[in-house]
A and B are shown apart, each in its own frame.
Chain A
Amino acid sequence: MTKDFDNLETALRAPEPALADDEFSASVLARLPARRRRIATRRWTLAGAAGLGSALTAVFAPPLGAALASLTPWMIPALAATTLAVLILVMVPGLYFLYAERADR
C-alpha cells in the first residue's frame, strides 16, 4: 500500500483554495437585468390604470358606443357597441399594466 493510497481520504478532504472575488461580483451585477420597480410603484401604477380606465369609460364609452352603432347598425346593436367600447377603454390601460409587469421580469 502506498503513501498516496493511504492518504487518499485525507487528500480528498483537503480544503479547496479560497478564490479572491477580484471583479467577479461586479461583473455579475453588471450583467443583471434592469432593476425591477418597487412594489409601491406597482401599486400606484395599478391604481392609476384602474382610475384612467374608469375615467375614459365614463367620458368616452357612451359616445363611442353610439358612433360604433351608427357606423355599423346592421352588425352591432347600440347596447353591444357600448359594451364593446367599455371593454376597449378598460382593456387598454389594463394591457399596458400587464405589459409593464412582464417587462420588469
Chain B
Amino acid sequence: MAREIEFREALREAMSEEMRIDPRVFLMGEEVADYHGAYKVSKGMLEEFGPRRIIDTPISESGFAGLGIGATMLGLRPIVEFMSWSFSLVAADQIMNNAPKILYMSGGQFGCPIVFRGNDGAGGQLGSTHSWCVESLYANVPGLKMIIPSDPYDAKGLLKSAIRDDNPVFCLESERLLSIKGDVPEEEYVIPIGEAVVRRAGTDCTLVGFGRTVYFCEEAAEELAKEGIECEILDMRSIRPLDLDAIVASVRKTNYCVVVDQSWSFASVGSEVAAEVHKACFDDLDNHVHRVHNDDVPAPYSHELEQEMLPHARKICEAVRAATYNA
C-alpha cells in the first residue's frame, strides 16, 4: 500500500525499521536525540528507542566517527549522522583513512559495517564552508560504498540496504530534497546498492545525474522536449559501485551523453563517468561526452549567485544542444 511521505520520513523509516529488527544498530550524531536532528530526520526515534540507541554527541565529528568505527570491531552496526557532510572534513582521517581500510589492514578480520549519512550539497544559502558536495572527494577512496538517493522511495530502500551492508556506506542526502514527497509502500522493500534507474525514457541524448541533479535534468528535459530533443534520464543512485552497464546501455541507444554532477569538475564523479563512457562506448558516441558541474568556485552566500553556480537546467540545456549539434 503506497502512501506519500517526505524524504526525511523515508530516511527515518529506514533507520527505525532496521533498528527494530537488529539490536546491533544505533544512531549517533549531533542533536539526533532530543532535538530530533538538525533537519528532523530522527524525529521520534529517541522516544521509541531510548538514549541507549539514539545518542547525542559533543560537537566532535572525528570523535563520533572514530567511536563508531571502534564499535564495529565488537560487532555493532552504527549509523553516524553528520549534520552536514561539510563537517565530515574534520573527521577525514577516520572516514577515509580508517573505515574503508580496516578490512584490508586487518587481513579480513574486521569488517567495518557502518553508515555515515547526512546533508550534502549547495543550494541552501549556507555559505561556502557549509555547502560541500563531498561525493567526488570521497568517491576516490576504494573500500567504501556511496549512495545518493534522489527521492523518498530510493532513500528508504537504499538506506536499508546500507544499514545491512557489511562495508562502510556513505549516504549523501540533499538538504534541498528533504521536504519533497513521494510514494513509498508500507510493505518491506530494499533497493540494492549499485543499480541505476531510468527516470525518463528518451531517444536523443542520455542525461546521467544523481541526487538533486536528477531534478535539474528533468527540468532541462521538459524544456528540450519542446525543441524536439528527447532526453533519457539515468539516475545513478549509487556512486560506488558504479552501474556502468546501465549508463552504457542508454548511451548505446541515444549515441549522446551529458553527465550532470553537483560537485567540482576536476577529478570528479562526472569525469570518471565520462572516461568510462568514452572507453566503453567509443564506437557508439556521435560526440564526446559533455559534462555539467558546479562552477569552479565555492558556493557563494548570495542566493542569486549560488543558484547560478549550480549545474542548473539552463546549463544542462546548453550542454545537450552543443552535444547533439543543435546549438
Q: Is A bound to B?
A: no
